[in-house]
Amino acid sequence: MKFRLRRYFLLTSLPVMVIITMLSVYGYIEFAKSILVEQESHANQQQTRLIGQLLWPRFQSHIMWSKNQGEISLRAAQAVEEIDKIVVDLFRGSNVIKAKLYNLDGVTVYSSQHSQIGADKSDNPGFMSASNGRVRSNLTWRNEFHAFEKIIMERDVVSSYLPLYDTRTREVIAVVELYSDVTNLVARIHHTRNQVIFGALTCFGLLLGLLYVLAVRADLLIRRQHDVLTDANVEISRLAYTDAVTQLPNRHRFDQALEEQIQHCRRHDEGFSLLYLDLDGFKDINDDHGHGAGDAILAEVGQRLKKAVRETDMVYRVGGDEFALMMPGANTPESVTQVAENLLARVAQPIEFGEQSHSVSTSIGIACYPRVATNAATLIELADAAMYRAKARGKNCYETAEI
């Protein structure tokens, strides 16, 4: 299968582009949210200092008193209403939508949602962090949320647990939890996210388009080089198995084909005949008229042999003036006698070369598989021996190998 650069380019670049875009968007969202939470935490710290100034030391006694009280007592305390007024006035118009106050035992001393007053949050990770002086914030999505004056729906909320310090001793005296509504900010983040996605896809699309054009050109170049290399390999293979003078298959191809034919006949219980031909008087023509005349005669004899046999028969030039013919299906001397006589007649016809006419004849040796031999070497040896007997008998005739 041919290599297709364009296909592999698309198969690799598109997933990479999608993955990079997704990672970029995810990274942006996480970074933006972390900045948002950090900013809200910082703002809530400022708000907590203000709360401390407003509530402490005025409500110090209430916080101390709360340690030994139950939920009912805490909710009914007069200080709740006073803290309510201070907190609501403080955060009116801001994005803080809920506030809670814990004593150091983790008891909810105050919550703008009064039903939560008295709840124990001592095992809450945020409370534990703030009671040790560390701010802890996180961003959550709320389907329903109890704000100061009403219930709001579908909100992004940053909740921050913040330590409340004594202004004199700088010791943690309570924990404040503030909830900030950041729905609009998160919506802006998502809007920017969409812009990031569009921008990233646009940039990647332009880059991909440019690279695709380059890949197409490279692919065409690779395909041309592949075609040239394929043609060169075909030509090399042809030259390796083709005789340059007669354009017939050469001795190397003959040896391969003979083995293949024997294997085929063994598998299918069939036979074939091998004819070995050697030109008579060719040496005199070569010596008297040169190699040009000799090559022309060899080429003409090769074409005459091809035309004299069936399409399924195979003609080879196996030596200087020697040819071989394999005839599948013909496994007795009688089945090739007429072919041998036809070959003798055709080869003996005059050959025109320049202004001169030359005549050669041929001697033929016939060996049948598996009648006289079952392997290539013996078959060639017997066919060659039969050919020399034909020459000894007077040339321009054929002889068959016998068992």
Token representation of residue 180: 């900030």
In DSSP terms, which residues pair with 153 in a beta bridge? 144
DSSP state of 360: -
- Contact assessment for residue 136 and residue 125, using Cβ atoms and an 8 Å cutoff: yes
- Contact assessment for residue 79 and residue 62, using Cβ atoms and an 8 Å cutoff: yes
The contacts of residue 146 (CB under 8 Å, 6+ apart) are 98, 112, 113
Of the residues 156, 243, 321, 384, only one is catalytic, namely 321
CA 36 to CA 50: how far, in whole Å? 21
Cα within 13 Å of Cα(392), Cβ side: 8
**Spatial CA neighbour of 272 closest among 212, 333, 220, 229:** 333
- Contact assessment for residue 328 and residue 270, using Cβ atoms and an 8 Å cutoff: yes
Token representation of residue 213: 């054009």
For residue 84, indicate whether it is catalytic.
no
Residues with catalytic roles: 321
